[in-house]
Amino acid sequence: MIYLDAAATTAVRREVLEAMWPHLTGEFGNPSSHHEVGERSARALADARASIADAFGVRSSEVVFTSGGTEADNLAILGITLASARGRHVVTSAVEHPAVLEAVDALVRLHGADSTIVGVDADGLVDPGEVAAAVRADTALVSIMAANNEVGTIQPVPAIAAALAGTGVPVHCDAVQAAGWLPIRLDELGADAVSISGHKLGAPKGIGALIVRGRVPLEPVIHGGGQERGRRSGTENVAGAVGLAVALRLAVEAGREHGARLAAARESFIAEVLATVPDAVLTGPREARLPGHASFLFPGTSGESVLLGLEARGIVCSSGSACAAGSDEPSDVLLAMGIAPEVAQTAVRFTFGSEVTADDLGRTAAELRDAVAAV
């Protein structure tokens, strides 16, 4: 099997499992317990927090462990907005992950907030000028993702942050897809808060983090015993935190080493598909995209039928966001890019990491040609 759905999830890395194992067995303590068993877990949690903080160039106190990227996004959107003294207006884009857009919608429905949804161009790119123009005196937060999960478009977050300099409006960045491939240090992004998810990096599902500057007020979304410095209550997932720290470190190292090679392989794959599959259309920009991301439209076909044909040939990929799996509706991301609904439903997405070879992609292109012809 050739697995090309890394944007949906990745396998847990062996190094991550080995690091987690002691904390799933003998070192099982509650990090809030004031005895030796608990204190050993607290030290492991602190070490994991410090490792993640180092990757983002922040203090350990600015790392909040969550259950994943969705919770991290919700904590950022709801927590920063509800704590803001400026007001309850949020600016975001039309191509954000549902974890962001649905959180914004909840603010509007339940908390009397207002939102501005900035559109994108045909490549799915946000214009920093449009974002800056949408900011008002009562804007509490701007949230723009680092890279899109469906089409791979890399957003100009540093330029957006620069355009907002001096406004006092914090910037949140969903970096779930970008971590390990793009710069994620907060000073590089210009962001005040960044969300990540473990299972996109080689850690298990159920662990993530929100990295948030200490100067940014944050209202907790989950209330209870006051863990995570009062910002996210609930007994911490120590093993998950340890695994996330190891996975992030390995992903950052691999991204530096393999990013250029993977981008070159992706470019060859795109070129071959466009040259050999009749009427194939690339979605997103040709170059300003994640290194292991290629997505296409095949007008006149059914995306789901192409997927089934590829799976029968031993190739696993997807039609778009895993969070929308099973929906008959066309992708909101593709619609926002100006693609007609009937064409948007022909989308197929290929996402991969450094374990995928050029031979794997060459075989995929050949099988894709046959799968599309068979529909």
Taking the C-alpha atoms of residue 337 and residue 355, their distance in angstroms, rounded to an integer, is 31
Instruction: Based on the residue annotation, tell me whether 173 is a catalytic residue of this protein.
Output: no
Under DSSP, the state recorded for 126 is P
Q: At residue 31, what is the residue type?
A: P
The DSSP annotation for 30-74 comes to -TT-SSHHHHHHHHHHHHHHHHHHHHHTS-GGGEEEESSHHHHHH
According to DSSP H, which parts of the chain are helical?
Answer: 14-24, 36-56, 69-83, 98-111, 128-134, 157-163, 186-189, 238-276, 303-312, 332-336, 341-344, 358-374
Q: Decide if 72 contacts 195 (C-beta within 8 A).
A: yes
Q: Which of 162, 323, 358, 373 is catalytic?
A: 323
> How far apart are the C-alpha atoms of 143 and 218, rounded to whole Å?
15
Query: In a 10 Å sphere around its CB, with 0-12 CB exposed, 13-18 middle and 19+ buried, how is residue 65 labelled?
Result: buried
CB 241 within 8 A of CB 60: no
Q: Which residues pair with 348 in a beta bridge?
A: 296
Q: What is the Cα–Cα distance from 229 to 214, expressed in whole angstroms? A: 11
> Strands 193-197, 171-174: parallel, antiparallel or unpaired by DSSP?
parallel
Please provide the size of the chain in residues.
Answer: 375
Distance of alpha carbon 43 from alpha carbon 54, whole angstroms: 16
Structure tokens, 83: 């704590």
* Catalytic residue ranges: 323
